[in-house]
Amino acid sequence: MEGLFSLFIVFMVLGSLAHTLSQAATVKKNTKNMDQAIEEFHALFTMRADVLAALAISSPSEGGTSSTLTLSKINPMLSYSTRIDVLGDPLDPFEAAEQVTVEYRLEDGLLKRFQSAPSAGTTAERLLTCEQMEVSLGAGVPSILEIRLSFDRGRVVKQRSLKVAVNAL
Amino acid sequence: MIPLSRRRAFLIVFALLLTVFIAVIALALLGLRKGGYASSTAVVNSVQARSLARSGVADIWIKLSKDPLFPGGAGDDQLRFSFREDVRDIDDNYIGSYRVIMDRTDRLTHEVLRIESTGIAGALTDESSQYTIYAELSTVSGDFRFKVWQEGTNPRL
């Protein structure tokens, strides 16, 4: 009787442990997938923030498709008070001398962000591994800019896309 | 030779010891993952706060596109104006809020409104994450649009 009771306890504990570990493995897998997805969303959100700040988009051209995204925006390192400084600086807070050029393109399987400022040279940021990037821009203003990214995740290729309303070309 | 009653007692003690041992291992394994779960939750909250901050900018953009003199009733001497809106889902569960600050200092001189929106995920008593977007809105006739948009900044206004 005691032997049966002991076996019951042992199997009950082992069963609970197996269940707990399988649930933990599932959560770990889901967490990994979620972390990957958030990394992809972060890259897309970064691109969207740049597109929303764009004063002009040079690639892709209007109504066209391109593998790069190039735009110009106000240099985020310059504060507003600096940009409207009356001493030796025109009052326009959005003048060309205060702009930077931002370019997104694939290089060595990585999505990279390049930022060029007239006085500070070019800086590069590696965002994430990416197989393919395609950017298309509708004709006219306002328009829609669509970004499509493809990611190789082992047995599957995932695609993420994002549409941004554009008010400047 | 060991009596049968003592061997039975040994089995029960062994089973209980094994139970405790395995339970300790299971708890330790779960404890190891605690940090991973917490960081994932924090990232989700951050994304939610970012979306709330975007809602705040969209809200002020719509208000200003409908009424260029928004907020009505505030005198020209009042250069800064702020408001806060709660956000709920379709089941009326509280998601968070956004706080918008508008600076009208250069509205007439440069035709620019400086806007800052902070998204706050979670309830007031349990704020889990904040995210701030800074924007400059051009109010030039025919060119009503954001010309500066910076996400994830420190509060400036």
Tell which wins on pLDDT, B81 or A3: B81
Instruction: Give the H/E segment covering residue B23.
Output: helix B4-32
Q: Is residue A18 domain-resident?
A: no
Å from B123 to nearest chain A CA?
A: 23
Å from A81 to nearest chain B CA?
A: 11
Confidence band of B39 (pLDDT split at 50, 70, 90): confident
Q: Does A34 touch chain B (CB under 8 A)?
A: yes
pTM: 0.79
* Three state DSSP letters for chain A: CHHHHHHHHHHHHHHHHHHHHHHHHHHHHHHHHHHHHHHHHHHHHHHHHHHHCEEEEEECCCCCEECCEEEEEECCCCCHHHHCCCCCCCCCCCCHHHEEEEEEEEECCEEEEEEEECCCEEEEEEEEECCEEEEEECCCCCEEEEEEEEEEECCEEEEEEEEEEECCC
Q: Mean pLDDT over residues B28-32, rounded?
A: 79
Return per-residue pLDDT of chain A as tens, 169 residues.
777 877 887 788 788 878 877 887 888 788 888 888 888 988 999 999 999 999 999 989 989 999 999 999 998 888 888 888 766 666 788 888 889 999 999 999 999 999 998 777 899 999 999 999 999 998 877 889 999 999 988 888 889 999 998 876 6
Q: Does A3 touch chain B (CB under 8 A)?
A: yes
* Cβ B111 vs Cβ B143: under 8 Å: no
Owning domain of residue A53: 36-166
Q: Among all chains, which residue has been given the structure tokens 């020209």? A: B76
How many structural domains compose chain A? 1
Question: A–B: how many Cβ contacts below 8 A?
Answer: 88
pLDDT tens column, B95-127 = 999 999 999 988 888 889 999 999 999 876 776
* Rounded Cα gap, residues B118 and B134, in angstroms: 9
DSSP string, B32-91: HTHHHHHHHHHHHHHHHHHHHHHHHHHHHHHHHHH-TTPSTT--TT--EEEEEEEEE-TT
* Rounded Cα gap, residues B142 and A102, in angstroms: 26
| pLDDT confidence of residue A9 | 76
Confidence band of B1 (pLDDT split at 50, 70, 90): low
Two tokens, residue A143: 């328009």
Q: Do B43 and A38 touch (CB under 8 A)?
A: yes
Q: Mean pLDDT over residues B46-66, rounded?
A: 92
| pLDDT confidence of residue A145 | 94
Q: Do A2 and B148 touch (CB under 8 A)?
A: no
Q: Is residue A58 domain-resident?
A: yes
Given a cut of 70, is residue B6 above it in pLDDT? Answer: no
| pLDDT confidence of residue B2 | 61
Closest C-alpha among B152, B121, B136 to residue B42: B121
Q: Is residue A19 domain-resident?
A: no
Q: Does B148 touch chain A (CB under 8 A)?
A: yes
Q: Average model confidence (pLDDT) for chain B?
A: 85
SS3 state of residue B146? strand
Q: Do B36 and A31 touch (CB under 8 A)?
A: yes
Q: Is residue A26 domain-resident?
A: no
Q: Is residue A27 domain-resident?
A: no
Closest C-alpha among B1, B95, B108, B107 to residue B53: B95
B86 bridge partner residues: B97
Please give the residue of chain B at the shortest CA–CA distance from A51: B149
Q: Do A27 and B150 touch (CB under 8 A)?
A: no
What ipTM describes this predicted complex?
Answer: 0.77
Closest C-alpha among A70, A81, A124, A74 to residue A97: A74
| pLDDT confidence of residue A90 | 67
- Spell out which residues of chain A touch residue B40, defining contact as CB-CB under 8 Å: 31, 34-35
pLDDT above 70: percentage of residues in chain B = 94
- Spell out which residues of chain A touch residue B47, defining contact as CB-CB under 8 Å: 38, 41
Q: Is residue A141 domain-resident?
A: yes
Two tokens, residue A71: 């735009």
| pLDDT confidence of residue A27 | 80
Q: Is residue A29 domain-resident?
A: no
Q: Is residue A25 domain-resident?
A: no
